């Protein structure tokens, strides 16, 4: 990532505001990001967005009408000025936010900004267009993994000859090159009949190969490799893909019925020594969990209630939960701090207690996750002892899937 050149970031978009927040935290350089124009209709929010270095980009469905080019001209000119000063401008060229694992066909706006800036300054800008891929282990979830990858820069100056010959072709060529570069940075599963099946199979294989503790990059690369193999199988041996899907569908149906998952079914979790050690750890740390749960029940309830009332689409769950949770939690901690200072004989006790609260909260959340996992593992052990037909079918389908994938 050059810091002394004008940079136009082409960013994949899966998780609303969380994509923007994470991107800002990757570099000390301020990133000006383009956001949907209708969010700027409110005058108060408009001033706030400008303060956060956000600029409006209008689409037809945002109320700009058919002539979005005219509506966006002032934003484009602002981008030219930022790039002239070796600034960074971030744009989501897919045009909308959908939590699906593929790069959608790009809009031409990013190409118009790139070529507009080059023409504005007589092709003297050393403009770098940097593709950015953002991936999530579970986009709506709390304490999940996010991976941001920056690709090899595309130099706008390399397209001058094509631009001089035919501007329309130059825009299409640059758009195709950016799209191809973005696809290399994420798990890109083409839309089609097997889209969701390939997604689930890739996740299963990465779990088998990398485990729960694999690095985000290892997991991403494993899933990309599985997707590539499955795409090749569809083309060359469609009967094998059909056999895989015939094992996958009943496997997923049965695991949903019994509320199980891959982590629960791992052989390592089923070992007697593992189960006894987990049970002992849960018993010994129960007091810490109770402290964390009791002190955080109110802000967690407020956050969940707000999300249920406000969120209409799944893609906004993480962003709204982050914003509401952050505000309510900080306010809650301040109130507890003031009450502690007033009621406790020593002020430092209150300060130390409040400083410990975030760690207790995270511990309580992790404890709940682990005790649910432990309960599911015990359920599997019980079903296996009873030779339950459902669990036997699950393991049979699971082994067949992994055999075929391998």
> Is the pLDDT at 180 greater than 90, yes or no?
yes
Task: Report the pLDDT averaged over residues 188-214.
Answer: 91
Helices (H), strands (E): how many in the chain?
16, 7
pLDDT of 6-45, one tens digit each? 999 999 999 888 888 877 777 677 889 998 888 888 888 8
Q: How many CB atoms lie within 10 A of CB 285?
A: 15
Output the pLDDT for position 65.
53
77: confidence class by pLDDT, cuts 50, 70, 90: very high
323: confidence class by pLDDT, cuts 50, 70, 90: confident
Task: Report the pLDDT averaged over residues 329-343.
Answer: 93
CA distance 149 to 97: 18
Output the pLDDT for position 320.
86
Q: Are 187 and 133 in contact (CB under 8 A)?
A: no
Task: Report the pLDDT averaged over residues 259-264.
Answer: 90
Q: What is the mean pLDDT of the chain?
A: 91
Helix locations, 34-104, DSSP H: 43-51, 68-84
Output the pLDDT for position 214.
87
Output the pLDDT for position 207.
92
Query: Which is more confidently placed, 26 or 260?
Result: 260
170: confidence class by pLDDT, cuts 50, 70, 90: very high
pLDDT of 50-68, one tens digit each? 888 889 988 766 655 555 6
Helix (H, G, I), strand (E, B) or coil at 124: coil
Q: How many CB atoms lie within 10 A of CB 338?
A: 12
pLDDT of 96-116, one tens digit each? 888 889 999 999 999 999 999
Whole-angstrom CA distances from 389 to 262, 376, 386, 394, 395 are 18, 17, 9, 9, 10
The pTM (predicted TM-score) of the whole model is: 0.88
Output the pLDDT for position 400.
94
pLDDT of 104-147, one tens digit each? 999 999 999 999 999 999 999 999 999 999 999 998 888 899 99
Output the pLDDT for position 64.
52
CA distance 202 to 321: 28
Whole-angstrom CA distances from 352 to 300, 326, 329, 376 are 22, 20, 17, 37
pLDDT of 279-306, one tens digit each? 999 999 999 999 999 999 998 888 888 8
pLDDT of 359-389, one tens digit each? 999 999 999 999 999 999 999 999 999 999 9
Query: Which is more confidently placed, 148 or 69?
Result: 148
Q: Which of 62-76, 147-161, 380-394 has the lowest mean pLDDT?
A: 62-76
186: confidence class by pLDDT, cuts 50, 70, 90: very high
Task: Report the pLDDT averaged over residues 134-163.
Answer: 93
């Amino acid at each position: 990532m050059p810091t002394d050149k004008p940079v136009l970031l082409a960013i994949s978009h899966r998780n609303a505001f969380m994509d923007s927040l994470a991107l800002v935290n990757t570099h000390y350089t301020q990133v000006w990001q383009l956001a949907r124009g209708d969010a700027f209709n409110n005058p108060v929010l408009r001033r706030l967005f400008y303060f956060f270095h956000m600029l409006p980009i209008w689409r037809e469905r945002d109320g700009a009408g058919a002539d979005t080019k005219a509506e966006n001209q002032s934003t484009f000119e602002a981008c030219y000025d930022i790039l002239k000063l070796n600034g960074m401008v971030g744009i989501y060229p897919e045009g909308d936010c959908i939590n699906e694992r593929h790069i959608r066909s790009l809009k031409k706006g990013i190409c118009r900004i790139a070529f507009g800036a080059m023409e504005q300054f007589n092709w003297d800008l050393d403009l770098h267009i940097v593709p950015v891929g953002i991936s999530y282990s579970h986009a709506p979830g709390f304490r999940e993994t996010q991976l941001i990858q920056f690709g090899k820069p595309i130099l706008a100056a390399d397209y001058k000859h094509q631009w001089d010959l035919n501007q329309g072709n130059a825009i299409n060529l640059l758009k195709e090159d950016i799209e191809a570069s973005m696809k290399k940075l994420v798990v890109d599963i083409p839309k089609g009949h097997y889209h969701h099946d390939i997604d689930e199979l890739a996740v299963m294989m990465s779990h088998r190969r990398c485990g729960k503790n694999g690095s985000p990059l290892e997991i991403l690369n494993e899933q990309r490799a599985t997707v590539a193999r499955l795409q090749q199988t569809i083309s060359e041996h469609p009967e094998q893909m059909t056999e895989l899907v015939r094992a996958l569908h009943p496997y997923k149906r049965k695991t949903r019925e019994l509320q199980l998952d891959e982590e629960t079914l791992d052989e390592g979790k089923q070992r007697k020594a593992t189960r006894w050690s987990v049970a002992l750890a849960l018993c010994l740390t129960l007091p810490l969990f109770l402290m964390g749960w009791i002190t955080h029940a109110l802000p967690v309830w407020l956050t969940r209630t707000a999300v249920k009332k406000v969120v209409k689409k799944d893609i906004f769950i993480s962003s709204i939960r982050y914003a509401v949770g952050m505000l309510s939690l900080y306010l809650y901690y301040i109130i507890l701090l003031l009450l502690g200072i007033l009621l406790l004989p020593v002020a430092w006790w209150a300060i130390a207690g409040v400083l410990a609260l975030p760690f207790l909260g995270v511990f309580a959340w992790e404890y709940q996750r682990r005790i649910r996992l432990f309960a599911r593992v015990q359920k599997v052990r019980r079903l296996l002892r009873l030779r339950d037909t459902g669990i036997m079918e699950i393991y049979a389908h699971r082994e067949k899937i992994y055999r075929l994938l391998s």
